[in-house]
């Protein structure tokens, strides 16, 4: 299946996790698991159940000193392979300068008992503010956030180490 993205990929990072896909997949497929490893996540509400293509979740998060929430719709759910989400509502003000914001998580074998997780983020800049947000400084900050989340997922999958409180 070829995934048609609603916007261009703006960043991608990956990490090798010393755990099989059977351990990693539930951590990304079950929205409630985000509370255990997602660094900015404070609370998750599953809006539509059972989770699958078309279902939504509300994520309460804290980025720095700002708390807010966003509602994501699951666009793709290829069991033990990949999933994608797009943000439909948010209270952080992202939609002032970005549109069609979302992410894709893909897993693949990386060796015996290992899984590679590739995490891509997509969005379309909106107006002058959106173009400014694509400065190298902002893109580096977004990359730090992605890598922090990947490291947190790795620590949880390998050792059960829950992320520090946001």
Q: Would you place residue 1 in the very low, low, confident or very high pLDDT band (cuts 50, 70, 90)?
A: very low
Query: For the residues 19-32, what does the mean pLDDT come to?
Result: 97
- Which residues are within 8 A (CB) of 2 and not within 5 positions of it... i.e. 6 or more apart? none
Residue pair 134/98 in contact by the 8 Å Cβ criterion: no
Taking CA atoms, 120 is separated from 49, 50, 76, 82, 101, in Å, by: 25, 25, 13, 11, 11
Sequence-ordered alpha helix ranges (H) in 42-102: none
pLDDT at position 3 = 60
- Give pLDDT tens digits for 59-90: 999 988 999 999 999 999 999 999 999 999 99
| Dihedral in degrees, nearest 10, Cα atoms 40, 11, 137, 100 | -70
pTM as predicted: 0.89
Sign of CA dihedral 165, 65, 27, 33: positive
Q: Is the pLDDT of residue 15 over 90?
A: yes
pLDDT at position 94 = 84
Burial class (CB in 10 A: 0-12, 13-18, 19+), 145: middle
pLDDT at position 50 = 96
What domains, with CATH codes, occur in the chain? 9-159 (3.30.530.20)
- Give pLDDT tens digits for 98-112: 889 999 999 999 999
- Cβ atoms within 10 A of the Cβ of 20, count? 15
- According to DSSP, residue 32 is labeled G
């Amino acid at each position: 299946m070829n995934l048609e993205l609603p916007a261009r990929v703006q960043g991608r990072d990956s990490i090798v996790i010393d755990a099989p896909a059977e351990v990693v997949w539930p951590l990304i497929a079950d929205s409630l698991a985000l509370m255990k490893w997602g660094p900015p996540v404070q609370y998750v509400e599953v809006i539509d159940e059972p989770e699958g293509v078309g279902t939504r979740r509300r994520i309460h998060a804290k980025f720095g000193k700002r708390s807010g929430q966003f509602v994501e719709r699951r666009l793709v759910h290829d069991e033990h392979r990949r999933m994608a989400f797009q943000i439909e509502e948010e209270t952080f003000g992202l939609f002032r300068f970005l549109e069609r914001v979302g992410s894709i998580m893909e897993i693949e074998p990386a060796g015996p008992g290992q899984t590679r997780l590739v995490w891509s983020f997509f969005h379309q800049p909106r107006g002058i503010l959106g173009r400014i947000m694509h400065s190298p400084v902002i893109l580096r900050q977004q990359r730090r956030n992605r890598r922090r989340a990947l490291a947190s997922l790795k620590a949880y999958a390998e050792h059960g180490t829950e992320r520090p409180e946001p």
